[in-house]
Structure 1
Amino acid sequence: MPVTTDIAATYRRPRAVMRRLLAMPPHEGRALAIVMAGCVVVFIGQWPRLAREAHLSGQELNMLLGGALLAWVFMMPLVLYALAFFSHLVQRVFGGAGGGYSSRLALFWAFLASSPLILLHGLVAGFIGPGPGLQLVGLVWIAVFLWFWLSNLREAGWGTS
């Protein structure tokens, strides 16, 4: 299935999509592509906020974009790999049987699948600015991300229906 179809399906049945992803042969390149795509989407989602910040403060937009590029596309994948390793260890402590690849895929897919809300968050930050609307969208993103991640971890570690 195309990635966009899988993202939309994740909002209805996250465990079914994760089950389908885990049924494919393990391929670290797939996991890397998913995390990189999620990080690129977040970077793009930062553009409206950074443009607003540059306009209001008089800073150079290219410098802000360069910093966001470095943070989201080059550094954040490493942070997410470390977080996936930590979640794998916690999963093993609680009796999970999944491997490291399934833990990585669970986190990375949750991150990519929740990325449309990150784009919305960037638009609200850029066009409306700080306030209750931005906080609400951020809270919804965190809730959806955690729902996806925990559902994916459950499917990856225990595989129960």
Structure 2
Amino acid sequence: MSILRDIAATYRRPGAVLRRHLRAGEREDRALATLMAGCVLIFVAQWPRLSREAFLTGAELSPLLGSTLMAWVFLAPLLLYGIAAVAHVGARIAGGRGTFYTARMALFWSILASAPMLLLHGMVAGFIGPGPALDLVGLAWLAVFLWFWIAGMRVAEWPLAPAGAATGQE
């Protein structure tokens, strides 16, 4: 399946999509590509907000874009690898049987699959600005991301659990 179809399918059955990705075997290049694609999309999602900020404050847009690029494309992946490791260790303590790779893929795929919501968040931040609409879209993204990550961690760490046992839906 294509990435776009997988992202759309994740909004219906996040566990099933991640399970299919994990069945393809452990490939760190695939995990890194998934993470980098998600981080690049998050960076792109920041453009409208940064453009609005530059316009309102009179600041130059290029330094704002450069620092955001550095943060999301170079620093965030390192932090996210650490978060995935901590999540795996926590799941292991709770009886999980996955690997560091499966925990990474659960987090990385959740980031990439929830990126369309972040693109919407960026557009609202850029065109409408701070307010209830931005807060609502941000909260919706957080809920979607956590849904994907929890369903993904269930598949990654407890692969033989009954379907829908932990999240109500795969």
Q: TM-score range by the shorter chain?
A: over 0.9
- Which protein is richer in helix relative to its size? 1
Kindly state the Cα deviation for residue 112 of structure 1 after the two structures are TM-superposed.
Answer: 0.4
Which residue number in structure 1 is paired with residue 3 of structure 2? 3
Whole-Å separation in 2 of the counterparts to 1:79 and 1:117: 21
CA deviation digits over 1:129-152, x for unaligned, max 9?
000000000000000000000000
Which residue number in structure 1 is paired with residue 22 of structure 2? 22
Which residue number in structure 1 is paired with residue 111 of structure 2? 111
**3-state DSSP class of the match of 1:12?**
coil
Whole-Å separation in 1 of the counterparts to 2:75 and 2:135: 25
Which residue number in structure 2 is paired with residue 83 of structure 1? 83
CA deviation digits over 1:61-102, x for unaligned, max 9?
001000000000000001100000000000000000000000
**3-state DSSP class of the match of 1:130?**
coil
Kindly state the Cα deviation for residue 25 of structure 1 after the two structures are TM-superposed.
Answer: 1.4
Amino-acid identity (%): 59
Whole-Å separation in 2 of the counterparts to 1:74 and 1:25: 26
Which residue number in structure 2 is paired with residue 59 of structure 1? 59
Whole-Å separation in 2 of the counterparts to 1:49 and 1:141: 16
Which residue number in structure 1 is paired with residue 166 of structure 2? none
Q: How does 1:1-161 map to 2 (within 5 A)?
A: 1-159=1-159, 160=161, 161=163
Q: Any runs of at least 4 consecutive aligned residues in structure 1 with deviations exceeding 2 A, and if so which?
A: none
Mark the runs of 5 or more structure 1 residues left unpaired by the alignment: none
Whole-Å separation in 2 of the counterparts to 1:55 and 1:105: 38
TM-score, normalised by the number of residues in structure 1: 0.99
Q: Number of residue pairs matched?
A: 161
Whole-Å separation in 2 of the counterparts to 1:50 and 1:80: 23
Whole-Å separation in 1 of the counterparts to 2:33 and 2:73: 12
TM-score, normalised by the number of residues in structure 2: 0.94
CA RMSD of aligned residues (A): 0.4
